[in-house]
Amino acid sequence: ALQGKDIIGQAQTGTGKTAAFGLPLLDKVDTHKESVQGIVIAPTRELAIQVGEELYKIGKHKRVRILPIYGGQDINRQIRALKKHPHIIVGTPGRILDHINRKTLRLQNVETVVLDEADEMLNMGFIEDIEAILTDVPETHQTLLFSATMPDPIRRIAERFMTEPQHIKVKAKEVTMPNIQQFYLEVQEKKKFDVLTRLLDIQSPELAIIFGRTKRRVDELSEALNLRGYAAEGIHGDLTQAKRMSVLRKFKEGTIEVLVAT
């Protein structure tokens, strides 16, 4: 990637993808230029925010300006931020395309395009948006495509927009996840909550994430946990973006100890 070659990285989450594309992306940025030189396209706003934060940490000593843009965030605020000449845009396909159509984002100086979790973007129906964005960048750009799987539509994008890409595959057994012990308990429905609270008391984790099947279940669980004395909050798609970010921030800071989520 550092040599400017197009790369197809077939890898799962936890394989260090952000560093793999972040280092060459940041290395190529000329901070003296006041133009967008790289874009990272991600399937969700949460991933866009996460990638933006990681790139900021890697590139802050070089003073690279990184701007996440995504739906659910005030577009006028994004337009003002775009006028401050970011070097790298990290965003969701729909919002990036929206700014291109508004002419508030110009990609004529882009040298690197990263497609992160391309198969997820396909599953979410973003394939046409991605093609429209790629059509708008210079033909000479470098493309780094990352995907856990390679369905036909993703292969067609690679054939159309990439030049002799090198294919790098990380096997599942090579995933750099920490050692995680997994257990499951068979419990009657009416006893689940009592068993859950008993587990929290026994394990006494500093932070815990509990996944619920529905938004309603998340609300019920977080309320019930608070009544039992746990500092818990829920997060799901019906909450505003500002509220979700607030809950995640409190969880990262340790203000709440249990995050209940869909």
Residue, of 52 and 72, whose pLDDT is higher: 52
Higher pLDDT, 223 or 183: 223
Mean pLDDT of 146-157: 90
Residue 174's pLDDT is 52
Write out the two tokens for 75: 């577009």
pLDDT over threshold 90, residue 19:
no
Residue 73: band (very low, low, confident or very high) from pLDDT cuts 50, 70, 90: confident
Q: Tens digits of per-residue pLDDT, 191-206?
A: 999 999 999 988 888 8
Q: What is the pLDDT of residue 225?
A: 94
DSSP result, 196-253: HHHHHHHH--SSEEEE-SSHHHHHHHHHHHHHTT--EEEE-TTS-HHHHHHHHHHHHH
The confidence band for 57, taking pLDDT boundaries of 50, 70 and 90, is confident
Q: Structural domain boundaries of the chain? A: 7-172, 189-261
Query: Higher model confidence: residue 76 or residue 2?
Result: 76
Quick check: helix, strand or coil at residue 90? Answer: strand
Check whether 51 has a pLDDT greater than 80.
Answer: yes
Q: Quote the mean pLDDT of the chain.
A: 89
Instruction: Determine the pLDDT at residue 175.
Output: 52
For the stretch 236-248, pLDDT in tens is 888 888 888 899 9
- Contact status, residue 208 vs residue 259, Cβ threshold 8 Å: yes
Q: Which fold has domain 189-261?
A: Rossmann fold (3.40.50)
Please tell me the CATH superfamily of domain 7-172, with its number.
P-loop containing nucleotide triphosphate hydrolases (3.40.50.300)
SS (H, E, C) 97-136: HHHHHHCCCCCCCCCEEEECCHHHHHHCCCHHHHHHHHHH
Q: Which residue has the higher pLDDT, 180 or 112?
A: 112
Is the model's pTM score more than 0.85? no
> What pLDDT is recorded for position 178?
62
CATH fold match for the domains 7-172 and 189-261: yes
Query: Would the CA dihedral through 220, 226, 227, 228 be positive or negative?
Result: positive
Residue 76 pLDDT grade (very low, low, confident, very high; cuts 50, 70, 90):
very high
pLDDT at 14: 60
* DSSP character at residue 66: E
Residue type, 61: H
Strand order across the 166-169 sheet: 66-69, 88-91, 38-41, 112-115, 142-147, 7-10, 166-169
Q: Is the pLDDT of residue 176 over 80?
A: no
Q: Mean pLDDT across the stretch 98-127?
A: 94
- Mean pLDDT across 181-193: 88
3 has pLDDT over 80: no
